[in-house]
Chain A
Amino acid sequence: MLYAAERTAKVEIENMIELESVTKTYTLGQQRIVAVNDVSLTIEPGEFVAIMGKSGCGKTTLLSLLGGLDRPDRGHIWVDGQDVTQLSDVELTRYRRDQVGIVFQFFNLIPILTVLENVALPFTLQGRPEREVQARAEELLKDVDLWQRRNHYPHEISGGEMQRVAIARALINRPHLVLADEPTGNLDSRTGHQVMEMMAQLSQRHNTTFVLATHSSEAASFASRKLLMRDGSLSFEEAAREET
């Protein structure tokens, strides 16, 4: 009864993310690795959260689970009142497409598409009308200050520019949640700073929840809340930057 009541309560709160005892293990050869170990967490709408930790601590796995790229072994993940862990493959694809934007460390732009086409890709895959796709991609490219570069291919632009394209691509669906895995990991510190600044601005402007995995404290300094992850567990929460 209590569980049902809680569930209704969660549904009422929009744009909220809640993880409930989420566990994910991998088998590597003979070895079992607990990548995410019984993690529970709540993230408010519009929050900019940074998950910090060393390589292999489980940050990327946690992000994969949030983004519906993988399924947990145990536990529930609620996004917008919807239990992501219960979705079918088709529903999960739709969830990724409509509600989540992803920014990768290596940008992961499609090399055969131009900057504009890369940004428009998620929309195009949905089969949205050409005019709508164009308008939205244009708007975002202007937001990330790359309108001039729209007809270039990924290999013709710099790393920082690639990451800005990736951010624009992540935002095109107006997702409630953007996941960024080491977004500055492949950039020099100045460019990394610019990219982080842009993400923070966009998060505010679009009221989008950003979850960032990083081991750079400089990148994490842009977050409103910092979480530390160690051996698959969230060991403690740090207060938001403004409050310290």
Chain B
Amino acid sequence: MIRLWRWFCLRHLWSYKGRALLCLLGVALGVAVFVGIKTAASSAMISFRDTVNSLTGTTQLQVTGQGNGFPEELYATVASSDGVLAATPVLEFNVIAAAPIDEPLLMLGIDVFSDQEFRQYQFVESRQGADGILSFLTEPGAIALTEKFAQRHGLEVEDRLEILSGSRRLPFTLRALLKLKGPARALEGNVALVDIATAQEVFDRVGRLDRIDLLLEENVSLKDVSEQLQKLLPADVQVETSGKRLGRIREMVNAYHLNLLALSLIALFVGIFLIYNAVSFAVSKRRYEIAMLRVLGTQRHQILGLFLAEALIVGLLGAVVGVGMGLVMAKLALKAMAQTISELYLLVRAETLTLSPLSILFGAGAALAVALLGGLFPSLEASRTLPREALYRGTLERRLHMGLGRISLVGAVILGLGYFCSQQQPVNGLPLFGFIAAFLILAGFSFLTPASVVLVNRALAPGLASIFKIEGKMASRYLGRSLNRSAVAIAALMTALAMLISISIMILSFRQTVVVWTEQIIAADLYISPAVRLTGQRASLPPDLVEALPDLPGFLAMERLSEIPIRIGDVPALLDVTDLEVKERLSRIMYRRGSSSEILRRCRERGQVSISEVLANRLNLGEGDRLNLPTPKGLQSLVIAGVFYDYRTEGGMVIMDRSTYLHYWPEERRYSSVGLYVKPEADPEKVRALIRQRLKESQEVFITSNRELRREILRIFDQTFSITYALQVIAIVVAVFGIVNTLILLVTERERDIGVLKAVGATNKQVQRMTLLEAGLMGLISFVLGSVNGVILSLLLIFVINKQSFGWTIQFSVPGVMFGKTLILVLACALIAGIFPARAAVSKRVSEVMSLE
């Protein structure tokens, strides 16, 4: 058997190296995308987990505050509580080391004495000696950085550097270098250490803490201590283990991760068609061999084994190449992905790729599965071939025609299953059934492809014949005749196109929704915000700057916005506090029901709140329900006046009037940003220049015009989706390989026909035109089917998958221009794919072909 296999498979693969390579590359690309994304995403997550773990040290429990933290008096309460062995306060800031360094840093404000029991900081030997280890930090403006970070930027002890935080520029002096051990490993060494008192002072947080880390006495239960502590603390302060925090963050990133993975699986899905084609080619090329083997007594299962083995070897090689390519891809994507995750969710720095054997195995396994699935049908056909039958052509074609009804029925059943799955509820907040439905829809449409090709081809035939004469007529007839080959290539391209079209519809609909939304809600003329706004950080504007704004010439009104991260139960959300009176008068909020000004007035006058639809979905609350909000004055139950659309974050959002806020959070007077309205006769540009003039040297703020802010929002929007475009391009490339493969196969199968055509006087140009027309026709039919499939998939993406994973309402819109562009792209790709086969079609001399006689 092995010898047979070597004779019949390896030699065949070798003599058609080019085609085998094309197919292998297609599978490899699918695997590469999968492994690449999986590895990059898990590396980013692992790097984040390492950050959290290294910062946790020996900590068993953490007391964490919301928004602006909690008063430091709580420290004494917590530290002296039963079961607590040791406690240390922590302040955490995400800051940026100013140019020329220009890198994010995790700044930890620690209490140098109590912290030693929790975390082991190791310093590079310095003048102070090991003894003075942490005491140097108590000097004002002292900072410690990791050796790695300092070396990278050529910093030495006693050098000065500036740190940007929110709207401030703060001077520091480097006093010590940390070894890359323990907590210093966080964010790959982008860690800065300062004394907690310094931190409170320079970051304007005197008297407040973010977190208290706890060590418990032996023999006490984590749960008991945690429950007992919770009773002592205000509602907006929580006690939890660090593992829980990690889990929450992982959950957040999961949806993003899953989306990318699903996309990469589509590239693999397209690979099935490629293998199908390759094995079909092998079967068709070797009908005679199969017949002879059968005549000589080879069993059916042996024939099946021969061809499946051939498919498997392509799958195996594809897996090996794909995993290699995937790791390279992961290396390249890691930075981009870490950046996206940093912008959307939390600050991560990922430099090292962490290999995950599981995802590599899964990728390789998927390649083999794809190979088996793709190779199975044509291999079965080969094994079922009777010795006599194998000597004639056209058998497979007739078989497929006969089975058309049955194949279509299977397709319809799969589509029905897909519809059923689309109606299911999410699993753990993830739209698993939605993704299954997407794959079922793609599979269902693939099964419907042969019948659709017949129908569309029939509809297009008269037009083709009248425009392109005999070439058009023959291209269309050939396509109809070679269904078992062409339908597969068309299904592959159709799948890639359906994906392209559906995702484009989703993104463009989403974008259009966001455009309408920004036009409605961004009404102020100028927006003033801190220069540095990193994820998870509460940057604020200098209060004196905000208070001086009404004195500006041309001032009409301002909305002072405070954004406070909170948690409602286990659901993270953002509390948006603003001057609703101004919003009511000059701007609006897009509510899903009711008038903006009416709801805003109720919020202002009756102390009610508005919540975003995302939060409403997560908490299963609606208009008129009550929201339980943890505040320093305990849990408050507030009436929900309205539910609004919001596309800023994936988390939920609560809008509250400033007066209500000050009632519950009396100590807070910090502004995240300000929306400034100028009088109609005033020039916003002049006002902007004036504000700039009045800024102090240490103040760093962004002043954005209305139009710039809208543009910025769309820029971030587009950037978020850039990786999906790259994936789509890959799927199309894989599918175009399919078209090239199929056409070469068809041209080889028709060698004799082409010879006859040339013998009876067809010119090379006519033969080439016929091949190109067939390629174009395949592209056109793929486009028609892909469009229908794509629109259906986009509905699933928008109304099921997006709704379940993010909860946004996206207004469905079908962008006509996109279809036009896609059609041009497809036809161009198909025609380019046809060039090589068209050349191949006329490359043989007529007599060579005829000497087959």
Contact = CB atoms under 8 A, between A and B. Distances in A.
Interface string B742-771: 000000000011011111111110100000
B759 A96 contact: yes
A90 B757 CA distance: 15
Given A69-B850, A124-B469, A111 B753 contact: yes
A102 interface: yes
A169 B760 CA distance: 8
Given A104-B850, A108-B753, A111-B753, 18 more contacts: A60-B851, A64-B847, A64-B851, A69-B846, A70-B845, A89-B764, A93-B762, A98-B761, A108-B752, A110-B757, A111-B394, A112-B481, A122-B760, A122-B761, A124-B470, A125-B760, A173-B761, A181-B850
Contact of A111 (B470, B481, B760, B853): B481
Nearest to A98: B761
Contacts of A104: 756, 850, 853
Interface string B474-491: 100110110000000000
A147 interface: no
Contacts of B760: 96-97, 102, 121-122, 125, 169
Ranked nearest first, the 6 interchain pairs of A and B with the lowest CB-CB distance are A97-B761, A70-B847, A112-B477, A64-B847, A69-B847, A69-B846
B395 to A, nearest CB: 11
Nearest to B752: A108
Contact of B757 (A89, A125, A126): A125
B283 to A, nearest CB: 19
Greatest chain A CB density within 10 A among B477, B845, B847 is at B847
A204 B791 CA distance: 65
A60 B846 contact: no
A109 to B, nearest CB: 8
A222 B474 CA distance: 37
12 contacts: A64-B846, A64-B847, A69-B845, A69-B847, A70-B847, A93-B763, A93-B764, A94-B761, A98-B761, A102-B759, A121-B470, A126-B761
A21 interface: no
A155 interface: yes
B763 A90 contact: yes
A67 interface: yes
Interface string A110-145: 111100000001101111000000000000000000
Contacts of B394: 111, 155
B850 A64 contact: yes
B759 A125 contact: no
A18 interface: no
Greatest chain A CB density within 10 A among B756, B758, B766 is at B756
Contact of B762 (A61, A69, A125): A125
Interface size bucket, B side? 20 to 34
Greatest chain B CB density within 10 A among A89, A112, A121 is at A112
A182 interface: yes
A125 B478 contact: no
B637 to A, nearest CB: 76
Contacts of B847: 61, 64, 69-70
A59 to B, nearest CB: 11
Interface residues of A, number: 34
Contact of B470 (A90, A93, A106, A125): A125
Interface string B834-853: 00000000000111001101
Given A64-B847, A110-B753, A93 B478 contact: no
Given A60-B851, A127-B469, A112 B474 contact: yes
Contacts, number: 82
Contacts of A191: none
A173 B760 CA distance: 10
A105 interface: yes
A108 B756 CA distance: 7
A93 B764 CA distance: 9
B756 A96 contact: no
B470 A105 contact: no
Interface of A: 60-61, 64, 67, 69-70, 89-90, 93-94, 96-98, 102, 104-106, 108-113, 121-122, 124-127, 155, 169, 173, 181-182
Given A93-B763, A96-B761, A110-B753, A70 B846 contact: yes
Contact of B853 (A105, A110, A113, A155): A105
Interface string B164-188: 0000000000000000000000000
A89 B470 CA distance: 22
A110 B760 CA distance: 11
A179 to B, nearest CB: 10
A31 to B, nearest CB: 16
B845 A67 contact: no
A191 B112 CA distance: 108
A62 B278 CA distance: 38
A102 B756 CA distance: 9
A125 B766 contact: yes
A125 B853 contact: no
Interface in B77-123: none
Contacts of B763: 90, 93, 125
A108 to B, nearest CB: 4
Nearest to B848: A70
A184 to B, nearest CB: 13
Nearest to A112: B477
Contacts of A112: 474, 477-478, 480-481
B624 to A, nearest CB: 69
B346 to A, nearest CB: 61
B474 A113 contact: yes
Given A110-B753, A113-B477, A181 B470 contact: no
A6 to B, nearest CB: 29
A69 B755 CA distance: 9
Contacts of A125: 470, 757, 760-763, 766
A111 B755 CA distance: 13
B228 to A, nearest CB: 85
Contacts of A70: 845-847
Contacts of A96: 758-761
A61 to B, nearest CB: 8
Contacts of B853: 60, 104-106, 181-182
A93 B474 CA distance: 20
A126 B469 CA distance: 11
Contacts of A111: 394, 481, 753
Nearest to B476: A112
Greatest chain A CB density within 10 A among B394, B756, B760, B851 is at B760
Contacts of A106: 853
Contacts of B481: 111-112
Nearest to A65: B847
Contacts of A64: 846-847, 850-851
Nearest to A120: B470
A89 B481 CA distance: 31
A97 B851 CA distance: 19
A64 B762 CA distance: 16
B850 A93 contact: no
Contacts of A182: 853
A108 B764 CA distance: 19
Contacts of A94: 761
A187 B845 CA distance: 27
B469 A93 contact: no
Interface in B453-508: 469-470, 474, 477-478, 480-481
A232 B45 CA distance: 77
Nearest to A169: B760
Contacts of B766: 125
Interface string B377-409: 000000000000000001000000000000000
